[in-house]
Structure 1
Amino acid sequence: MRSLRITLTLIFVCCIAQFASAQDWANLERFRQANSELSMPKSNEHRIVFMGNSITEAWIKIRPEFFKDKPYVNRGISGQTTPQMLIRFKQDVIDLDASVVVLLAGINDIAGNTGPSTIKMITDNIFSMAQLAKVNGIEVIICSVLPAADFPWRPGMNPGPKVIELNGHLKAYAQENDLVYVDYFFAMVDSTNGLRQELGTDGVHPNAAGYLIMEPLLEQGIVKALKKD
């Protein structure tokens, strides 16, 4: 009987934890305190906010030197999809007095992390974030989704063609709306439309060598975006 009570208690605790997590589906609490403690940008300082998923979140952990002593604010959350980012965009980008936002998103939507998602659903969310940024005087850098031939957490989905299609829409939108487009895909793709083996850990997430490819491309994009500011 005691064993049964313990088991039921554990089940109840797990259910409560899952319920609580579901109530903050977009993870608005993740950066709430950090945002409140972030000071206003200094005079003539151009704050760059990175909005993304695990590829963005891991960037500052794997390559902290890229962020050191720069007005870069990392707001990546592992596993997130574009609808989640759109919900938290105001508090994690607009309210931070950003000069530029770097949008790197979409691969988890293709993987179906928060349910089935079409290319149009993904672009609608990314374009909405771009529009919100522009209305608030924030310059936008739209980044290509990195190449991926398969997902280790959801194998057999063949994401390569969808990544290429998505990137085509992102590039066209950037060109049509005078936004900066940073193409990581072309610099990192292999012959199978996947991430080059030496640039990643699992075919999706870049390693230090991968970020070293991305960094100068992004810095060029930041320079272009700031000229528009």
Structure 2
Amino acid sequence: MQDAAELKYYQKANKKITDSLKNPEVVFMGDSITEGWVSLDPDFFHSNNYVGRGIGGQTSFQMLLRFMLDVVALCPKAVVILAGTNDIAENSSNYNSTHTLNNIKAMTAIATAHNISVILCSLLPVDDYPWNPGLNPIPKIAELNKELKELSEKQDFIFADLFSATVNEHYALKSEYSEDGVHPTLKGYKTMQPEIQEAIRKCLSL
């Protein structure tokens, strides 16, 4: 049977952590943007006892399906959720903003039920997806980011505004931070790092 959510992707890595009984401070749940962060800046994760659980191409629904295995089972103090851009890119189906927000809400509910603090990230700016052009993502990203910020305020989650740190005057990802307009370069991740670190600091001090 096909593993649609790639539940086994991090199976060995997760077992290594649970066997060691050394829980990470923070797990980053996401897609290729999160996976690329670990690949390009591994020292940022290792030195802070953070763990990345991003899988390229995944939508919020796929992340929800593996949330128990890839986040809760690792018993972190907090989770950073960066989800939704592949929903808007229509990687698996037509974009439905309500479904995406509900998937993210479900992840936060699971985290809260297991005493894991939540950091919600804004989506990064995108003016067009190279693999699925013409979807007009700018207003969709703006609306989802607004809803994520409102959810954070309502539920007392920490909101990390990665959008403002990386956007240009055309509501796209700054060219110096990306080669394809979607995925950050190391310089892009370094630019995002202070916002994430401050969000984690606030979250863990609550």
Counterparts of 1:181 and 1:219, CA distance in 2: 12
Kindly state the Cα deviation for residue 173 of structure 1 after the two structures are TM-superposed.
Answer: 0.2
Identity %: 44
Q: Contact 1:41–1:47 (CA<8 Å) still a contact in 2? A: no
Query: Is 1:195 equivalent to 2:173 in the alignment?
Result: yes
Task: Give 1 or 2 for the bigger CA radius of gyration.
Answer: 1
Kindly state the Cα deviation for residue 65 of structure 1 after the two structures are TM-superposed.
Answer: 2.1
Counterparts of 1:163 and 1:156, CA distance in 2: 14
Q: Contact 1:40–1:97 (CA<8 Å) still a contact in 2? A: no
Q: Secondary structure at the match of 1:69?
A: helix
Listed one character per residue, the Cα deviations across residues 125-145 of structure 1 (whole Å, up to 9, x for unaligned) are 001100110010000000000
Q: Secondary structure at the match of 1:214?
A: helix
Give the letter for the 1:24 counterpart.
Answer: D
Listed one character per residue, the Cα deviations across residues 56-93 of structure 1 (whole Å, up to 9, x for unaligned) are 00101111221132211110000000000000000100
Query: Is 1:62 equivalent to 2:37 in the alignment?
Result: no
1:140 to 118, 122, 127: 118
Counterparts of 1:185 and 1:74, CA distance in 2: 20
Listed one character per residue, the Cα deviations across residues 80-120 of structure 1 (whole Å, up to 9, x for unaligned) are 00000000000100010111000001000000101112111
Q: For structure 1, which runs of at least 5 residues remain unmatched after alignment?
A: 1-19
Counterparts of 2:192 and 2:199, CA distance in 1: 11
User: Aligned residues, how many?
Assistant: 204
2:189 to 211, 216, 219: 211
2:8 to 16, 19, 29: 29
1:130 to 73, 83, 108: 108
Q: Secondary structure at the match of 2:66?
A: helix
After superposition, the CA RMSD in angstroms is 1.1
Q: Secondary structure at the match of 1:102?
A: strand
Q: Give the structure-1-normalised TM-score.
A: 0.87
1:82 to 49, 56, 60: 60
Bigger drift between 62-71 and 197-206 goes to: 62-71
Runs (4 or more) in structure 1 with deviation over 6 Å come to none
